[in-house]
Structures are given as structure tokens and as C-alpha cells.
Amino acid sequence: MKLYIKAISSYRSDKEEINIKQELKKSYKIDVRRKDDFIYAGLYGALRLRDTIEIKRENELYLTSGYGNINILSKIYDDVEENKGTIKLFDFINMLGNTTSFYIATELGIKAKSIFQISDNFTYFNTLVSVYASLCKTKNEAIVGALDIASENEEVLKRVAGIEEQSSITTSVMFQKFSLDATDALCEVEFDTKFYTLEEIQKLLKETTLKTVFSTRCKELDAPKRAYIETDASSVINESITNKESCLYVECYEKRYKIIQVLNIEN
């Protein structure tokens, strides 16, 4: 399966020091009331994308995340379980993934399909498959946003994610505009639905001429230490486009592997 990327936007908290809430108010005149950090992050990434390319009402919107709005879930737990109170109305509304989709679709003027989806693992990969299947039918283009915000309580996220205590966690907001049409594309993204074994990946690595990037979960492949991002593939794709560099990305969950090829297109 192949998709082409026409535009990207990126934000990582370890590379930019920005107060997203204030930036939304100042630069984009967004009403920030009754929203939270997860929604702010999604809006910011989407509006940055809109700054670079036209977004049409028939474009589709797909949002994915490793663990969703974990801060609001933690807040609700504290309110109900620890403080024996009740769930606040807007906390409940903002907890729903489609709330973020609604705010982003509204700001972008999108009237077509709008989906928020999270998988137990390989969530970004699964989103790409959904996008490809839909675009083959509709012939539209799609906006994909991968949102992972650093938890206010990193210990909770590290336990849930099963990552090492010393790992650093960063907020990552990556958006891409995908198309089946290669015209004016920045890169070609190739992927499949196959699960690879370690032996198959090792054989593939010997044959490829592409630069290889590993998820931090690829422990049996001696993955280098770097900041933890659940939807790391989205960040690697955007970095490859920014650096005009092709690469092969390898992800792993429970000894099952998946790959994405990012092939730079010289315009």
C-alpha cells in the first residue's frame, strides 16, 4: 500500500518551548475556554498544517494517539476515587476522543469523515491502513494527526506503557496530509498489513539500502535510546521529510514487527 504526503506540521516539546494555549489565543484567535491540553495540542498541530496547505471541506480527518487524553482521565480518577466527588461536565465531554475531532474539524472547515481511533498497539500503522482503504473508495485526501502529550504524572504513563523508568517522555503532535495522487508530493509512504518476525526483519535489514530507524521498543535490535513517543512513526516520517531523507522505520510490540518505508521525492 502506498500513500503520498502533500504537507506536514510538527510540534515536539523537547524541541520547542511554546505555551500552546497562549499561542492558540494570540496567533489563531481560538476560544480556549472549556478545552484542555490534549485538545489544545490537536488544534495547534492542525492549524499549523493549515498554514502550509489548503484544506478542503471534503478532506477526511483521522486522529490517533497512543493513550489519548491521559491527563483528563487521571483528573477524573482523582475527582471520583480519591476525592469522592463527581465528574465535571466538561471533563467528561473532553474525555471523549471525538470531542477533539469535532473541534479540529470545525476549525479546519472539514465536513467529511472525522474519526478518532486508538489501537492497543501499532495504532499509527492501523490508522494508515484505514486511510488507504477509505481513500481508495472516496478518492479524497486525508488529514492524519498523531497526538501524544506528556502525562502530568510520568510514573503513571510509564507503568501503562511498560517503558523504562529512566526514559524521557515528550509531547509530540504530528500532522500530515495524505493522498493517493503523487502530484507535488513530498514523499511516498509504503506499508502493509503483515506482521514480521525478528528473523524476517534481520534479513530485511541486510538487504535494504535505506537508513534504518528503530522504535525504542525494538530491544532485540539494539534500538538507540531516545525520547519516548507512542506514535513514534509519525515523528520519524515528518523528520525524514524535513531532512529530505528516505528511511525504513521498524516498530515492535510483543515480538511482532511492522515496517514503514518513507521515500523522499525530489520536487
Question: Minimum mean pLDDT among 100-104, 127-131, 151-155: which range?
Answer: 151-155
> What is the β-pairing status of strands 187-191 and 256-264?
antiparallel
Specify which residues 146 forms β-bridges with. Answer: 64, 174
Percent of the chain beyond pLDDT 90? 67
3-state secondary structure 15-45: CCCCCHHHHHHHHHCCCCCCCCHHHHHHHHH
Alpha carbon 179 to its chain centroid, in Å, reads 17
pLDDT digits (tens, 9 = 90+) for 175-187: 999 999 999 999 9
pLDDT digits (tens, 9 = 90+) for 109-139: 999 999 999 888 999 999 999 999 999 999 9
All domains of the chain, ordered by start, with CATH? Answer: 2-185 (3.40.47.10), 188-264 (no CATH)
Picking from 91, 9, 73, the residue whose alpha carbon sits closest to that of residue 43 is 9
pLDDT digits (tens, 9 = 90+) for 227-259: 778 899 999 999 999 999 999 999 999 999 999
d(CA 190, CA 5): 11
d(CA 122, CA 110): 26
pLDDT of residue 82: 64
Q: Is 155 helix (H, G, I), strand (E, B) or coil?
A: helix
Q: Is 263 helix (H, G, I), strand (E, B) or coil?
A: strand
Strands (DSSP E) contained in 149-202 are: 172-179, 187-191
Picking from 11, 12, 32, 29, the residue whose alpha carbon sits closest to that of residue 21 is 32
pTM over the 0.85 mark: yes
* pLDDT confidence tier of residue 223, bands split at 50, 70 and 90: confident
pLDDT of residue 238: 97
pLDDT digits (tens, 9 = 90+) for 46-64: 999 999 999 999 999 999 9
